[in-house]
Structure 1
Amino acid sequence: MDRGGDGIGIGIIGYGIMGERLLRAALGPGASSVRVCGVWDPSPAAMARLAESFPEIARFDGVAPLIETCACVYVAAPPASHLDHARAALAAGKALFCEKPLAVDVGQARAFVRDADAAGMRAAVNFPFASSPAVDQLEAWMADGTVGRLREADIEVGFAAWPRPWQEDAAAWLDRRLQGGFTREVLSHFLFLAGRLLGPATLGPASVRYPVDGASERAVAAELACGTLPVRVNGRVGETEKADTNALTLHGENGTIRLRDWSIAERLVDGAWREAEGALPQEEARPITLARQLEKVSAMTRGAPHGLASLAEALAVQELVEAILASGDEARG
């Protein structure tokens, strides 16, 4: 059980990039609604890194005792292990906050969502756009007439190389077709956002290129319809010098707005992009967004309304991602 104290107790499974980011956010000044009960990772190197950086954080020698200790399980392990940990949380009656996707296999993800819904599980998936101040700005512009009636939208992502430099330690799965690739890792966030802002998506024509034998995709193009709104999707590796660049652009009768590089909301004024007042680069925006996510995790764990990405939303994104990637099956060597 949760051993009490201030805030909802969270146990972290997986101490890679995302596990460390959430831990730092939970220890920050903006996250008093949660506390970290402890961390487990199967890698001795990861646990040694945790001990060096945060010796005050409990380190567990297995998943079961960690789950027993906390009220909410945060799963930040590689995707192939998500489902096992999520089912363990479900069996223990704990709340679940999981990185996407829920499972590598879509059918198994569907089955888990059915079981979780039937059990009334308190669960959500970590799509940070659910708590992004930049997304709040887009919604405000959509509501106040800045854009007017929407006509179309574009999603574009680009990378100098894949994986990105800060993910090289995870290349063993991030650049493999079973679990990895930028469509699952990055594009999925923008597909979630499009669904939130524009409505559920259906997939039209799509293409994927797999030029490197055994590796993940290097180019994706797809046409979606969010309701009746056409949405063009493009992703490329190797056609930009930037490690990571991205944008969701909304074109309306009265104007054009976009979210770029994860955290900058902009509108097109006299042919030039103008940032929203107070816009922050991702390095500064991330801890604010994660702190807001953690407030919602606390609400979710307590059974209160929260606004995090639901299991159903995450499943819809996964189904869309896998359908896009399947369009490239004929190109797989």
Structure 2
Amino acid sequence: MVRIGVIGTKWGLMHVGAFRAAGAELTALCGRSPDNTREVAAREGIPLATTDVRELCAAVDAVVVASPDSLHAAHVETALESGRAVLCEKPLTRTAAEARTLLARARTATRPSAVNFPYRMLPPLRGLKAWLAERPVRHLVLTLRNGFVADDGTTSGPLLGASGDWGGVSHVLDAALWLAGASPVWVQASLSGRPVHTAALHVGLSSGAVLVLTHAASPEPGIHGGWTLLGRGWEAGFSGGYVPSRGGWCVSPVRGFEHGEWRDVAPGVEPRPGEREPWAQAHVEVARRFLGLLRGEARDGLATLEDGATVQDILAAAMTSEQEGRRVHLEPRPGA
């Protein structure tokens, strides 16, 4: 049985449950507070509780990095240097520069790595991805209302906030690129707020498609997004997000219009009694595929570190575009 170590005693618990459900052995837990880490490890039945990342790495086969976002880069690098497979919570890093450093290190690593982007595992999106296999995407139009990013009214501090991705925009960008099957080549953006709480992004893709994303933060809890994808003679769409009043993630059925009629593309998901909440189940699917990756199986949608770095490239380009008032062209990374 694969031995898993988790760095992070808060969101890391989502991964503890997910990997257990996927059949892994949870061997070690790492946190910043010795007392809290011991308490959480005892409650979860995890043998080793430590504040030393290297001690955790020595006790496991694979590492899940779910520490505070500002520590992701250092913890992923330590895991790779220790010769361990690593799954990093999004965002991979807070900056594009950090991501480039990690990619260079990962290219010499002997064990696989991945980034946790659970949107890819939600059944409606997987159904849509399959439907798109023979339907090239020409345009994507996305709207996102995010209740997890607050405008504090200050004029200082990082544009991208503490998370480095406006509190979850990385999820949406990665899912859009994955659905389109293309990489970004240019970005033009208009941003406001510190951290960014309203944004309009246009992202040109290698396929010739254009991704249009509008984002707005609000004090209302939860997340809601609307997705429309357009191709030659067809369109498809859905909506959904985290709905606190309904106890979790709700995504509508995906509907498509083609040959003069609307049709069902993929069923939706919502919390149901006796079933694992959809977002939690998506994490189980990530865990299963990561364990499969360790056995030499295909990724089956599991995001790479390259994917995580690509998202940070877009966000960095968006900031440059806002600050300089121009379209920013993305340069291919060495080895990409």
The alignment's TM-score, normalised by the length of structure 2, stands at 0.78
Does 1:280 find its partner at 2:262? no
| Aligned amino acid, residue 54 of structure 1 | E
Q: Which range moved further: 281-290 or 243-252? A: 281-290
Where does residue 21 of structure 1 map in the other structure?
14
CA deviation after TM superposition for structure 1 residue 259, in Å: 4.9
Does 1:266 find its partner at 2:254? yes
* Structure 1 residues not aligned, in runs of 5+: 1-6, 165-174
CA deviation after TM superposition for structure 1 residue 83, in Å: 1.9
The structure where helix makes up a greater share of residues is 1
Distance 1:45 1:118 in 2: 36
Q: Which range moved further: 260-269 or 150-159? A: 260-269
Does 1:73 find its partner at 2:63? yes
Distance 2:196 2:255 in 1: 31
The alignment's TM-score, normalised by the length of structure 1, stands at 0.79
Where does residue 191 of structure 2 map in the other structure?
208
Taking structure 1 as reference, are residues 228 and 278 closer, same or farther at Cα in structure 2, changes over 3 Å only?
closer
Distance 1:181 1:158 in 2: 17
Where does residue 44 of structure 2 map in the other structure?
54
CA deviation after TM superposition for structure 1 residue 274, in Å: 7.2
Where does residue 194 of structure 1 map in the other structure?
176
* Structure 2 residues not aligned, in runs of 5+: 152-156, 242-248, 326-336
Superposition map of 1:253-332 within 5 A: 253-261=233-241, 264=251, 265-267=253-255, 276-277=266-267, 279-281=269-271, 284-307=277-300, 308-329=302-323
Where does residue 225 of structure 1 map in the other structure?
204
Q: What CA deviation, in whole Å up to 9, does each residue of 1:123-166 have, x standing for no partner? A: 1111112322221111233247xxx55442112111346259xx
Q: Which range moved further: 64-73 or 196-205? A: 196-205
Taking structure 1 as reference, are residues 301 and 185 closer, same or farther at Cα in structure 2, changes over 3 Å only?
farther
Does 1:83 find its partner at 2:77? no
CA deviation after TM superposition for structure 1 residue 294, in Å: 0.8
Distance 1:57 1:302 in 2: 24
Where does residue 114 of structure 1 map in the other structure?
104
CA contact (8 A) 2:148 2:167 kept: no
Q: Secondary structure at the match of 2:210?
A: strand
Taking structure 1 as reference, are residues 201 and 133 closer, same or farther at Cα in structure 2, changes over 3 Å only?
same
CA deviation after TM superposition for structure 1 residue 104, in Å: 2.8
Taking structure 1 as reference, are residues 259 and 141 closer, same or farther at Cα in structure 2, changes over 3 Å only?
farther
Q: Secondary structure at the match of 2:234?
A: coil
CA contact (8 A) 2:116 2:303 kept: yes
Distance 2:31 2:176 in 1: 33
Q: Secondary structure at the match of 2:119?
A: helix
State the aligned residue count.
303
CA contact (8 A) 1:86 1:98 kept: yes
Distance 1:45 1:208 in 2: 41
Pairwise CA RMSD: 3.1
Does 1:162 find its partner at 2:155? no
Distance 1:68 1:82 in 2: 18
Q: Secondary structure at the match of 1:21?
A: helix
| Aligned amino acid, residue 225 of structure 1 | G
Aligned-pair identity in percent equals 23
Does 1:153 find its partner at 2:140? yes
| Aligned amino acid, residue 156 of structure 1 | T
Q: What CA deviation, in whole Å up to 9, does each residue of 1:259-297 have, x standing for no partner? A: 532652421679999794363349721222111111111
| Aligned amino acid, residue 4 of structure 2 | I
Taking structure 1 as reference, are residues 272 and 27 closer, same or farther at Cα in structure 2, changes over 3 Å only?
same
| Aligned amino acid, residue 267 of structure 1 | R
CA deviation after TM superposition for structure 1 residue 46, in Å: 4.3
CA contact (8 A) 1:72 1:94 kept: yes
| Alignment match of 2:124 (pick from 130, 134, 139) | 134
Taking structure 1 as reference, are residues 73 and 163 closer, same or farther at Cα in structure 2, changes over 3 Å only?
farther
Distance 2:15 2:70 in 1: 20
Distance 1:104 1:186 in 2: 12
Q: What CA deviation, in whole Å up to 9, does each residue of 1:231-258 have, x standing for no partner? A: 11100013x8452112332123233223
Where does residue 170 of structure 1 map in the other structure?
none
Distance 2:142 2:271 in 1: 19
Distance 2:6 2:216 in 1: 33
| Aligned amino acid, residue 98 of structure 2 | Q
CA deviation after TM superposition for structure 1 residue 328, in Å: 3.7
CA contact (8 A) 2:143 2:213 kept: yes
Where does residue 154 of structure 2 map in the other structure?
none
